[in-house]
Structure 1
């Protein structure tokens, strides 16, 4: 009787651990998608110097 209870507890704990792993991967994937969307929508961190921007525009016109 005691062995059966112990086996049932071990199985329940394994199921709980697996459920937590699945939840953590779902949350991780959601956060990665949000970061990718934010990175896609954000402006670049570096900006060209105004003189370089002007020369870049001139090159684009040509």
Structure 2
């Protein structure tokens, strides 16, 4: 739309997307036979750490 996103919203968007990715990673475990089940929890934790870092760095 041509408008600039305020700088203080960037960390919020970063955290939002990281939390979404964590949720999608964990959703793989809901499959009847998840592919690579040991992969998803550590990956979700990495995304949540990224989200936390984005919000803490904002302060």
State the TM-score bracket (shorter-chain normalisation): 0.3 to 0.5
**More RCO (CA 8 Å, sep 6+):** 2
TM-score computed with the length of structure 1 as normaliser: 0.40
Greater C-alpha radius of gyration: 1
Q: TM-score, normalised by structure 2?
A: 0.42
